[in-house]
Structure 1
Amino acid sequence: MVVDRLEKLRKSMKDKGIFAYIIPSADFHQSEYVGDYFKCRKFISGFTGSAGTVVVTLDDAGLWTDGRYFIQAENQLKDSTIKLFKMGEEGVLTVEEYLDEVLKKGDTLAFDGRVISAKEGNNYEKKYGEKGIKIVYEYDLVDELWEDRPAMPSEKAFLLDIKYAGESAEDKLSRVREEMKKKNATVHILNSLDDIAWLLNIRGNDIAYNPVVISSVVMTLDKVYYFVDENKLNQDIKESFDKIGVEIRDYFEIYDFVKEIKENETVLLDEAKVNYNIYKNIPSDVKIINEQNPTFIFKSVKNEVELENLRKCHIKDGVAMTKFMYWLKTNVGKMKITEISASDKLEELRREEESCFDLSFDTISAYKDHAAMMHYSATEESDCELKPEGMLLVDSGGQYFTGTTDITRTYILGDITEEEKLHYTSTLRGMIRLSKAKFLYGCRGINLDILARGPLWDIGIDYKCGTGHGVGFVLNVHEGPNGFRWKVVPERNDSCVLEEGMITTNEPGVYIEGKHGIRIENELLCKKAQKIGSDQFMEFETITFSPIDLDGVDPDYMDKSEKEFLNNYHREVFEKISPYLDEEEVKWLKEYTRAI
């Protein structure tokens, strides 16, 4: 099927004089996760991971993806004729380096300019224009092949009440306008969906698990133009928007709208977030300020109302996780449980809480060697039965009106090897060390990452991903600009100074292909600690509460402070979670939060 699609794509390319065609994972908004309509890269390659880029030439094809998906991609690309390029690995060409090798003067490089960022498009235009290579960006060639392509999303939107958001849309617009004035900007184009959702306190269901609305915003110092499918908006939303000067326009109208921006205007936009078509439609005599959207940092620093809601939310989420662990540990081997049925059970428990309206991502329920694939997703073909042996990794989260959660636990279902115990305990030690960090204000995630990796590096193990990412508030589970990783990855944009109020996950892991995978994840709130002289110290508050499976822990590998932290953490788990459990569950939890 993939080979046939590639053949048809190449015929279309040849007819249009195109030598190379780029198919990224993005939608028209540079979203990390996309709706079914936008899954062109999956359609053309068969690779289902969330991140990756396909380049097809008239005689070759390649897929670039990161370390989370190496094993998965190798399996899914078999017999496709598409080569896997493992991003970040030594000696592996980047997309740009590959294009440098295959493109020659007179060739045409093409892509759909709506799914390529202005930053990428401008880079290609500058680099290849100088080499006599033509850039074409008006074709969606995959659409020509995709006969049963899903429709554009049309889910209804809703307003997020201020009792959850903690700040009105009107006040948020004022804050952004103040930033515009500081930069002498008169127009701001906002095209990233989570930024728009945060700014207007609007949420939706246009992308699975990401409560956003497919839309764009152009704002001036006194007006907001909101480009959206109006059928998604109820009367309450329309009336609310009317009061704060938000004018509703058709979703696709933005491309013509920006053509009318006057030459005396100054436009603020982020080239990494605005698509190339929008950028190219702005008149050439208009001044453009290419800077990070003000909303990017604003939404990452949670206000006190959001934080209070989040703390409550994590207890509710922790109750579901704890009940799941009890059910799993007491029933495995006694009833049939599979990766998928375990995942379904956890979702059922989460949705018992009335404020939970969705999951925050597709649950990863991975048994034994399946867990070595960081983002494994069980299918009917791969779904396997859990036995009272080995380990089950469960990475999951919920969308609540009070917050967004992300938690991973690795459960011990029976006997495990000494090697697995070493790996499990080393992963736990890394998670604990980062949780305990005290650091000076001004530190970034890159300064602290070694705390999590250290115990694993000591035994010669690394994991091919970051240690943690920011989390949105009733928004995307992955959010910049904060994160933990050992080196700067520019396209991730997650290496900012850690600010008070930022939420970041802490999730080191071990992934041994063909054997096992282990990950333990809590969320951390960055907050101020003591100030000594002019030195402001910072620390983390753990806001995730669910037992860490002590059956995988060998205390002999841990030092005194690590054991003390784990014991204190488990004491808190028991205090916060036990009031919501029945008598048998409480008795069980007491055992699984015992001091070691």
Structure 2
Amino acid sequence: MFQTFAATSSPDQGPPRLAALRRVMAEKGFDVFLVPRADAHQGEYVAPRDARLEWLTGFSGSAGFCAVMQDRAGIFIDGRYRLQVRQQVAQDFTPVHWPETQLSDWLQEHCNAGATIAYDQWLHTATQIADLRADCPKLNFEASENLVDLIWDDQPAAPDAPFIVHPIEYAGESHDAKRRRLAESLEADAAVITLPDSIAWLLNIRGSDIERNPVPQAFAILHETGNVDLFAHESKTTEIATDLSDGVTILPPETFLDHLRGLKQRVLIDKGTCPDAVASTLKAAGLTVIHGQDPCILPKARKNEVEIAGARAAHERDAVAMVRFLAWLDREAPSNKLTEIDVVKALEGFRRDTNALRDISFETICGAGPHGAIVHYRVTENTNRAVKTGELLLVDSGGQYIDGTTDITRTIAVGDAGEEERACYTRVLQGMIAVSRIRFPKGVGGQHLDALARAPLWLAGQDYDHGTGHGVGSYLSVHEGPQGISRRSETALEPGMILSNEPGYYREGAFGIRIENLIVVTEAPTRAGADDRTMYAFDTLTYVPFDRRLICVDLLTEAERGWIDRYHADTLALLAPRLDDATASWLETACAPL
């Protein structure tokens, strides 16, 4: 089914909803109420029922939060959303640049000593609340029922879709083996797991509780024996019950807190992802809480051979759809009859023609002209713009297939592009190539590699306000931690980790450029004369041509030109046999040597 394009909230709805929230706050004696974009499972994406931030403010970005007082309402957003937020929220909400301005600093600036800050303890992690208490000793933080829920009369129902089994031919390891493997190194009597993608990976199950992300909303407890308690409604677990029968006990979600209170002495939680409600319950029960990483996080990030093979197959299938789309776009765009919505629908149609698409992996970003400068732009009926000759078109999209998750961005010239746009595009491409070609020692994290992608832009006095790359799941979330390529990515990169490689450049009111491939960490071949140390490299998963019309060949080094020509030759050899004659001919031209 094609995605819809109606905005779920508009700026004019924000002020009356904000006024209603403030009335409830006054009745309860709260000076501040915190409204995060989060749910009880602390995943990145939320179901419509949990889209409280968007309902209240109109802001639809994937990260952010609002702090509501009687005389002000700060909406905290990062660099990806600073253009978008101004278009989506009323003036009653004040955008706050985050993380440059921390919530604790903002609260201390605007609140009197003794002020009460209320929060829903299911929607904030243990770390977030502990840090706020430590950083704001003169303020009172009080757990509360969710005040937005009290005023949201037509709040959607909770997701109730059934979970499904993820077959071992795609998972590569049984859930029995995973549970035993993790239990052997647990160093606790039990571990509480709240992230939906962690539970999905551990038990080899998938769900549809979150749009575009095949994850099941549930809670789980992994015991030192390798047994797991899974807390989910019976109506959601009928299809998986037989597969999980040995070693997994399915229990009603309303019994979750009672089971936490009944655990043995030493309980592991990941305070960075665990809801404060869980941490508070364990503490109140007198249990010893051990703080450590979710035991599924790193094993899930290190894809096994079966998962990597599946990723390659999914990307090849997806590339065929992308090439068919790009050939179509080249034919149709010069007519000036296309809109952004037309482009999005056409691209999804080409993916569905594979007969393998389970869903798109996120809402397609399709920004024509100045809309391309809005990093996470989502077209609606109200914002839909014509695709015009002489402008750039940025398309960031992906697919969910049972064997892998894809994510790709291409920036396309519609007609002739200006010299400035071509120069900026080439710098972005140079940064992507630098990351693609790098070899690095074991132990290096993404923060060490981020500057490689930015260096060509920095030399021109330019930059972009987002990370260079994020982790990607295996028929799971398109954004997966802990691996990444950014200034904050401290996790050492290891073989099997899949990441995006997506530098960009954005000029407000004019154009946006981003180029993205997915890459997988591999062991690098030994070179003559090299030190006796383990070296890693990246292997490219995405093979779709770049727009040669936007490449300033004179700006490239010989090595960069060689890399592009080899990439295009490999793309042509891989995809041409799977295309009709007309599309194969288009691809041959698109992949011609520089």
TM range (shorter): over 0.9
Residue of structure 1 in register with 2:118 after alignment = 110
User: Which of 171, 179, 188 is 2:177 aligned to?
Assistant: 171
User: Which of 95, 101, 117 is 1:84 aligned to?
Assistant: 95
- 8 Å Cα contact 1:361/1:477 also seen in 2: yes
CA distance in 1, matches of 2:114, 2:432: 53
Task: Kindly state the Cα deviation for residue 476 of structure 1 after the two structures are TM-superposed.
Answer: 0.5
Residue of structure 2 in register with 1:353 after alignment = 354
Residue of structure 1 in register with 2:509 after alignment = 514
- State the Cα deviation string for residues 72-128 of structure 1 (Å, max 9, x = none): 01122243x111111245xxx321101122333332110111101111122334454
SS state at 2:379 partner:
coil
CA distance in 2, matches of 1:419, 1:353: 37
Residue of structure 2 in register with 1:189 after alignment = 192
Residue of structure 1 in register with 2:5 after alignment = none
SS state at 1:409 partner:
strand
Task: Kindly state the Cα deviation for residue 533 of structure 1 after the two structures are TM-superposed.
Answer: 4.6
Matches within 5 A, 1:262-273: 262=264, 265-273=265-273
Residue of structure 1 in register with 2:48 after alignment = 36
- 8 Å Cα contact 1:547/1:593 also seen in 2: yes
1:249 aligned onto 2:251: yes
Matches within 5 A, 1:82-161: 82-89=93-100, 93-128=101-136, 130-131=137-138, 133-161=139-167
CA distance in 2, matches of 1:267, 1:574: 53
CA distance in 2, matches of 1:125, 1:253: 29
CA distance in 2, matches of 1:390, 1:285: 63
Task: Kindly state the Cα deviation for residue 250 of structure 1 after the two structures are TM-superposed.
Answer: 1.4
CA distance in 2, matches of 1:115, 1:234: 28
CA distance in 1, matches of 2:393, 2:524: 37
- 8 Å Cα contact 2:261/2:285 also seen in 1: no
Residue of structure 2 in register with 1:240 after alignment = 243
User: Match of 2:571, as an amino acid?
Assistant: V
Task: Kindly state the Cα deviation for residue 134 of structure 1 after the two structures are TM-superposed.
Answer: 2.9
CA distance in 1, matches of 2:135, 2:506: 38
Task: Kindly state the Cα deviation for residue 394 of structure 1 after the two structures are TM-superposed.
Answer: 0.4
Matches within 5 A, 1:564-579: 564-579=562-577
TM-score normalized with structure 1 length: 0.95
Residue of structure 2 in register with 1:228 after alignment = 232
CA distance in 2, matches of 1:271, 1:472: 22
- 8 Å Cα contact 1:269/1:289 also seen in 2: yes
Residue of structure 1 in register with 2:300 after alignment = 299
- State the Cα deviation string for residues 417-449 of structure 1 (Å, max 9, x = none): 110010111111111111010111121111111
- 8 Å Cα contact 1:357/1:399 also seen in 2: yes
Task: Kindly state the Cα deviation for residue 198 of structure 1 after the two structures are TM-superposed.
Answer: 0.4
Residue of structure 1 in register with 2:548 after alignment = 550
CA distance in 1, matches of 2:199, 2:408: 26
SS state at 2:554 partner:
helix
- 8 Å Cα contact 1:355/1:402 also seen in 2: no
Matches within 5 A, 1:430-469: 430-469=431-470
Larger deviation: 56-65 or 395-404? 56-65
- 8 Å Cα contact 1:254/1:278 also seen in 2: no
- 8 Å Cα contact 2:336/2:388 also seen in 1: no
Residue of structure 1 in register with 2:591 after alignment = 593
CA distance in 2, matches of 1:362, 1:495: 28
User: Match of 2:95, as an amino acid?
Assistant: L
CA distance in 2, matches of 1:30, 1:306: 25
1:203 aligned onto 2:200: no
CA distance in 1, matches of 2:32, 2:195: 27
- 8 Å Cα contact 1:525/1:543 also seen in 2: yes
Task: Kindly state the Cα deviation for residue 530 of structure 1 after the two structures are TM-superposed.
Answer: 3.2
Residue of structure 2 in register with 1:260 after alignment = 262
Task: Kindly state the Cα deviation for residue 226 of structure 1 after the two structures are TM-superposed.
Answer: 0.6
TM-score normalized with structure 2 length: 0.95
Residue of structure 2 in register with 1:524 after alignment = 519
SS state at 1:483 partner:
strand
- State the Cα deviation string for residues 319-344 of structure 1 (Å, max 9, x = none): 00000000000112337321111111
CA distance in 2, matches of 1:496, 1:383: 39
SS state at 1:225 partner:
strand
Residue of structure 2 in register with 1:491 after alignment = none
- State the Cα deviation string for residues 312-368 of structure 1 (Å, max 9, x = none): 111000000000000000112337321111111111111122221001100001101
Task: Kindly state the Cα deviation for residue 252 of structure 1 after the two structures are TM-superposed.
Answer: 2.9
CA distance in 1, matches of 2:532, 2:390: 54
- 8 Å Cα contact 2:334/2:415 also seen in 1: no
- State the Cα deviation string for residues 262-319 of structure 1 (Å, max 9, x = none): 4xx2001101111111111113521111001121000000000111111111100000
CA distance in 1, matches of 2:434, 2:134: 45
Task: Kindly state the Cα deviation for residue 152 of structure 1 after the two structures are TM-superposed.
Answer: 0.3
Measured on the aligned residues, the alpha-carbon RMSD in Å equals 1.3
CA distance in 2, matches of 1:99, 1:259: 33
- State the Cα deviation string for residues 472-528 of structure 1 (Å, max 9, x = none): 00000011111111x22xxxxx32111011111100001000000000000111111
CA distance in 2, matches of 1:502, 1:171: 20
What residue ranges of structure 2 are gaps of 5+ in the alignment? 1-12
1:69 aligned onto 2:78: no
User: Match of 2:535, as an amino acid?
Assistant: F
User: Match of 1:227, as an amino acid?
Assistant: F
- 8 Å Cα contact 1:317/1:405 also seen in 2: yes
- How many residues are treated as equivalent by the alignment? 577
- State the Cα deviation string for residues 546-569 of structure 1 (Å, max 9, x = none): 111111111011010000000000
- 8 Å Cα contact 2:365/2:396 also seen in 1: yes
CA distance in 2, matches of 1:75, 1:313: 36
